[in-house]
Copies of this chain bind each other. A is one copy, B any other.
Amino acid sequence: MEFKVHKLTNGLTVIGEVNKNAKSSAVGFFVKTGSRDEDLNINGVSHFLEHMVFKGTERLSPFAVNETFDRTGAQYNAFTSEENTVFYAAVLPEYLSEITKLWTELMRPALRTEDFGIEKNVIKEEIAMYKDHPNYDVLDRCRAMYFGKHPCGHSVLGTEQSIDAMTAEQMRGYFAGRYAPNNMTAAIAGNFDWDKIKDLIEAGCGGWEKHDVKREISDTRGNRGEQRVEKPNLVREHICLMSPSVSFQDKRRYAAALLGVIVGDGTGSRFFWELVDKATAETASMEYAPMDGTGAFFTYIRCARENAAKAMGTVNKIFTDATKSGVTEEELTKAKNKVLSALVIKNELPMGRLVDLGFHWTYLGQYRPIEEEVKAVKAVTVAEINTLLKQYPLGEFAQFSLGPAQNG
């Protein structure tokens, strides 16, 4: 493995990890922008813009974009979160140049008014579809409740109203403000010729103009409280909890991730044995979500309506016990094995590696070889997790429930 980095004069950083043993390559653009960077009147614009990128440029029709991905057999996609918009593709090494060039062009999309109007309906259908999935819906509502006025509470998809009201002009304004070269990272992983790809990116992006891009970063411990909304079509209770935790930039993130596994992994966790195995809940998970400048634990529980009180009683007991008595050596060892195995297996593919590479640079401005990540996970002690539990008691959460009518 060899790490390479090159910063263009306009601030765009190109990073690469060369692995001559890999048989494929992955390339991506990491734009440091998401729903937290949106004004509420254009909420959802980051995600909508991600869709619009695939509609092509002044030079490239949507058909031509499709044709290139299709002809080269690229496995490509994009995703938008509260704080990132990521475009990526995994390809055979012989097509890496062509696909890299395509991405560099697509990062300056045409944003045609006509395409904007058509795509608006696709976005609205996506919003409707997610509303039909109570597990997504409850998470979105809980996030809004927990974060309150903090921008991390913004919905990624936006609302039907915000999308309806949005104009192509507003999207172009947002694009101009956020897709500055100094707010983006181009990353490459796998088997590739660094000089060739780096030069190609420089040729494609070197002319973009740099300008100031800001993000409001403040830490928050979120709101508390409890809300419940009834939906007549639901047959199960869906409960989401959010408790505060450390940020992506905080070294305690490894301890937080392990704590999430100990308490809320799909199998063998405290949630699993106390809630799922005892059939109080059908699903119960807790996961650590590191963010830019802040962080949180998300808990999701699905259960029969009549079990909701019992399930919450058990959750509260698990949280109180954890803060009071901490975790055990045995639990930590098990959690480390789970995290390490998932980490190593994911990073074995250039595509998986690309994501970690890009995010480490975006959040930390650092290259972290997989060996260092492994070392950091292995180094976490029971004492560190127990200290974290005192600093951020899990029991201090916001609770949002979606469920059937009380007498239903």
Contacts and interface: CB of A to CB of B under 8 A. Distances in A.
Contacts of A370: 23
Given A71-B334, A267-B70, A333-B71, A92 B340 contact: yes
Interface stretch (A151-159, A344-352, A391-399): A344-352
Interface stretch (A72-80, A107-115, A381-389): A72-80
Interface in A307-345: 333-334, 336-342, 344-345
A351 B341 contact: no
Interface residues of A, number: 36
Tell which of A21, A74, A339, A341 has the most Cβ of chain B within 10 Å: A341
A242 interface: no
A54 to B, nearest CB: 12
Copies in the complex: 2
A337 B99 CA distance: 13
A328 B339 CA distance: 47
A345 B268 contact: no
B23 A348 contact: yes
Given A66-B268, A70-B267, A92-B337, A75 B345 contact: yes
A367 interface: no
A91 interface: yes
A163 B254 CA distance: 46
Interface string A57-73: 00000000011011111
A95 interface: yes
Contacts of A67: 268
A86 interface: no
A337 B75 contact: no
A256 interface: no
Contact of A338 (B73, B268, B347): B73
A72 B333 CA distance: 9
Contacts of A22: 348
A75 B348 contact: no
B268 A341 contact: no
Contacts of A70: 267-268, 334, 338
A401 interface: no
A73 to B, nearest CB: 3
The 6 closest A-B CB pairs, nearest first, are A73-B337, A73-B341, A70-B268, A73-B338, A21-B21, A71-B334
23 contacts: A21-B21, A22-B348, A23-B344, A23-B348, A23-B370, A24-B344, A66-B267, A67-B268, A69-B267, A70-B268, A72-B341, A73-B336, A73-B337, A73-B340, A73-B341, A75-B345, A90-B345, A92-B344, A95-B341, A345-B351, A348-B348, A348-B350, A349-B349
